[in-house]
Amino acid sequence: MAAVTTNLVAEAAARHKTTHTVTAALGRTLTGTLLLAAGVKELDRLTVQIDCNGPIGGITAEANGRGQVRGYVRNPRADAPLNAQGKFDVRAIVGEGTLYVTYESGFEIGLYREPYRGSVPLISGEIAEDFAYYLSKSEQIPSAVMLGVLVRARANGDHFIEAAGGIMIQIMPGADEQTVRALEESVKRTPQTTTLIRRGARPADLLQAALGDLRFELLEEREVEFACTCSHERALALISAMSLAEIRSMLEEDRGAVMTCHFCNTTYRVQERELAEILQRAEKEG
């Protein structure tokens, strides 16, 4: 699987007002989650959660089977100086912790199946290696994962996401040794994904670069985007599910409610009149 995620990472960074180091961490996680989701049949929702002790506090990303992803971090303003290689020090803001992966399926056909959950300790904190470790350890799939986000400065000092994307290669059971060795060699020689994307590479070009002389067939192509499921109606539904006392206090003390979606940072303002209606309905239902 390969993806070019420049626009969606830029959207995530703008929505959450992240530091460049957080943009790199969140962008890699969003891209890795999309790639992981792309390899699953009949998936409704894949959630990747990084629970960690570094200043970023935690990262959550959620993708569906249609190329849509959303995500957030606990502390979007976390930062650290560039590392010894002159790159964003993602490891420094992530620290130690655990990577959790949850697959859910069946709800679109009205058949909710028990979610599949797996987790591994973070071995690197640089995200790509952690995804690869998860696949090999928890799902017994030897894999190579490359994830990158390139932030560049404009002449006026502003910054922008010049390239973001990733490649995920999973070795299927029964792959012959010669293929695996050829793959390992070509992956080692592959330039960084962001270098290729800057030069205009599309996902198929990324695969070609990573697979070298190995021949491949494209099974499917789809658009990817940052997309959230929140709405004003959902905000009202959340309030309806609260206790009468809570709704009453929002109405009488706050004269309204303000709710912000974690995933996309959109703020919903619920008016006094809407709260009064919700309260009336809730009181009637007892």
Residue 161 touching Zn ion (CB under 5 A): no
Nearer to Zn ion, 182 or 259 (CB): 259
Residue 144 touching Zn ion (CB under 5 A): no
Residue 261 touching Zn ion (CB under 5 A): yes
Residue 228 touching Zn ion (CB under 5 A): yes
What is the DSSP secondary-structure string of 216-243? Answer: ---------EE-----HHHHHHHHHTS-
**Contact criterion met (CB below 8 Å) for 61 and 48:** yes
Nearer to Zn ion, 68 or 190 (CB): 68
> Which span (87-95, 111-119, 162-170, 258-266) binds Zn ion, by CB under 5 A?
258-266
Whole-number minimum distance, CB 234 to Zn ion, in Å? 9
263, 268, 270, 275: which one contacts Zn ion (CB under 5 A)?
263
What is the DSSP secondary-structure string of 121-133? Answer: E-SSSSSHHHHHH
3-state secondary structure of 266: coil
Whole-number minimum distance, CB 93 to Zn ion, in Å? 23
230, 239, 250, 251: which one contacts Zn ion (CB under 5 A)?
230
Nearer to Zn ion, 230 or 250 (CB): 230
What is the DSSP secondary-structure string of 59-106? Answer: EEEEE-TTSEEEEEES-TT------TTSS--HHHHH-SEEEEEEEE--
Cα angle value 239/244/250 (rounded, 5°): 60
> What are the Cα distances from residue 81, in Å, to 39, 94, 97, 105?
35, 13, 21, 41
Residue 235 touching Zn ion (CB under 5 A): no
**Amino acid at site 52:** C
Nearer to Zn ion, 20 or 66 (CB): 66
Nearer to Zn ion, 178 or 267 (CB): 267
22, 78, 101, 264: which one contacts Zn ion (CB under 5 A)?
264
Whole-number minimum distance, CB 224 to Zn ion, in Å? 17
Whole-number minimum distance, CB 228 to Zn ion, in Å? 3
**Cα–Cα dist 285/184, whole Å:** 63
**Contact criterion met (CB below 8 Å) for 30 and 7:** no
Determine the distance from the C-alpha atom of residue 198 to the mean position of all C-alpha atoms in its chain, rounded to a whole number. Answer: 21
Whole-number minimum distance, CB 260 to Zn ion, in Å? 9
Residue 268 touching Zn ion (CB under 5 A): no
Residue 169 touching Zn ion (CB under 5 A): no
Whole-number minimum distance, CB 133 to Zn ion, in Å? 30
Residue 61 touching Zn ion (CB under 5 A): no
Count of residues near Zn ion by CB under 5 A? 5
Own/partner contacts of 110-116, CB < 8 Å, gap of 24 or more, are: none
Residues interacting with Zn ion, by CB under 5 A? 228, 230, 261, 263-264
